[in-house]
């Protein structure tokens, strides 16, 4: 938990600096590249979390993996090294993208369904969510057969659960209470 709070603080500071220098888009692309690379490479994660490897070696490795980063993004490496926080680089990259999208009025809505959504249904859900949030919304469909049917919509910190499994659980609770 403390690591994620720190990552949010670093991401906010990075966004503020990038916005002041009118490089927020470029830094966002860098942060998405870093987050995607971490998702694809457990070796990179292991290297950053290894206490035996010296900080300068970690920085050199990161600069070799990401040679075309903006100066603001690569400057983050120096700040993290001086504060002994290199292990949260991936979390900072993810949080930056979330904060950047929020700053630009964009939001990701996660829709969990038992079967993949059709394009028609996706369009309807997207229109409804856009009307509710007044933001540009991107849908992410998660397929989870355990919900049996219906859907679970999560936008930001709000969740609407219209799944059949949730309805069955509610009925079960009502019967056991009476």
Could you give the CA distance from residue 107 to residue 86 in angstroms, rounded to a whole number? Answer: 28
CATH for 2-102 (3.30.930.10, 3.40.50.1950, 3.40.640.10, 1.10.520.20): 1.10.520.20
Could you give the CA distance from residue 78 to residue 71 in angstroms, rounded to a whole number? Answer: 11
Q: Which one of 19-23, 116-120, 170-174 scores highest in mean pLDDT?
A: 19-23
pLDDT band at 178 (very low <50, low <70, confident <90, very high): low
Q: Has residue 150 got a pLDDT over 90?
A: no
Q: How far separated are the first and last CA of the chain, in Å rounded?
A: 39
Topology annotation, domain 107-177: Protein Binding, DinI Protein; Chain A (3.30.910)
The long-range contacts involving 36-40, CB below 8 angstroms and separated by at least 24 positions, are 37/65, 37/66, 38/89, 38/90, 38/93
Please tell me the predicted confidence (pLDDT) of residue 120: 87
Could you give the CA distance from residue 22 to residue 10 in angstroms, rounded to a whole number? Answer: 18
* Cα-trace Rg, the chain: 20
pLDDT tens per residue across span 113-136: 889 988 888 888 888 788 777 788
| 35: three-class secondary structure by DSSP | helix
DSSP one-letter string for 107-139: EEEEEEESSPPPHHHHHHHHHHHHHHH-SEEEE
Strand-pair category, 150-155 with 158-163: antiparallel
Locate CATH 1.10.520.20 in the chain.
2-102
pLDDT tens per residue across span 36-93: 999 998 999 999 999 899 999 999 999 999 999 999 999 999 999 999 899 999 999 9
- CA 27 to chain CA mean position, Å: 15
Locate CATH 3.30.910 in the chain.
107-177
Q: Has residue 2 got a pLDDT over 60?
A: no
Angle (CA) 66-7-54 rounded to 5° is: 55
pLDDT band at 3 (very low <50, low <70, confident <90, very high): low
Tokens representing 164 are: 């059949």
Q: Has residue 23 got a pLDDT over 90?
A: yes
Sign of CA dihedral 23, 25, 26, 29: positive
């Amino acid at each position: 938990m403390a690591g994620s709070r720190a990552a949010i603080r670093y991401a906010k500071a990075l966004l503020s600096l990038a916005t002041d220098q009118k490089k927020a888009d470029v830094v966002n692309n860098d942060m998405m590249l870093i987050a995607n690379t971490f998702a694809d490479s457990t070796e990179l994660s292991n290297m950053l979390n290894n206490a035996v490897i010296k900080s300068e070696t970690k920085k050199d490795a990161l600069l070799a993996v990401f040679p075309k980063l903006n100066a603001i993004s690569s400057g983050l490496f120096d700040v993290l090294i001086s504060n002994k926080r290199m292990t949260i680089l991936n979390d900072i990259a993810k949080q930056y993208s979330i904060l950047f999208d929020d700053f630009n009025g964009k939001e990701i809505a996660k829709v969990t369904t038992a079967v993949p959504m059709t394009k028609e249904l996706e369009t309807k859900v997207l229109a409804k969510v856009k009307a509710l949030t007044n933001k540009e919304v991107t849908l992410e469909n998660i397929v989870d057969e355990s919900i049996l049917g219906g859907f679970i919509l999560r936008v930001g910190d709000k969740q609407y659960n219209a799944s059949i499994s949730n309805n069955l659980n509610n009925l079960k609770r009502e019967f056991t209470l009476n």
